[in-house]
Amino acid sequence: MFYGEYEHKLDKKQRVIIPSTFREASKENYVEKFFITRGLDKCLFMFPEEEWKSQEAKFRNLSFTKRETRKFNRLFFSGAVEIIPDKQGRILIPSYLKQYAGIKKEIMIIGVSSRIEIWSKESWKEFYTSSRESFEDIAEKLIDLE
């Protein structure tokens, strides 16, 4: 549903505009509400409501008696916020989430199939530069195309 990478900037009111292709995909799939939370690799995860419910169910089924599960769930869910874009497709990211992701002004919005990732431009460049060389090796280990 969400594909591509888009460079944006926070506006004067600290809002982010969702790329038009993502707004169109949301409309086609009847998505009105999103949830944003702390992601991995210094980015934010933004899930459509249905995908959020699916992820929440998975994490809810993990054993809370395990320390790492409790730690992950606390950080993941305590950071979550419900977001409804305005009519122009803008959203306001809470300051604690921007701080977590190192977002100041320039951002990258990345489509990762069922979710959107929001990165500081600097962090995305670092991730991309350090990861692109191993893309084929990762594919070999994870994907069986037969």
Q: Where residue 9 falls among pLDDT bands split at 50, 70, 90?
A: very high
Q: Which residues contact 92 (CB under 8 A, 6 or more apart)?
A: 13, 14, 15, 16, 83
Closest Cα partner for 94 from 46, 53, 52, 126?
46
Q: pLDDT at residue 145 above 70?
A: no
Express each pLDDT in 111-144 by its tens digit. Answer: 999 999 999 999 999 999 988 888 888 888 888 7
Buried/exposed 55-77: b ≥16 CB within 10 Å, e otherwise: bbeeeeeeeeeeeeeeeeeeebe
Taking the whole predicted model, whether its pTM rises above 0.85 is answered as yes
Q: Which domains does the chain have, with CATH numbers?
A: 2-142 (3.40.1550.20)
Residues in the chain: 146
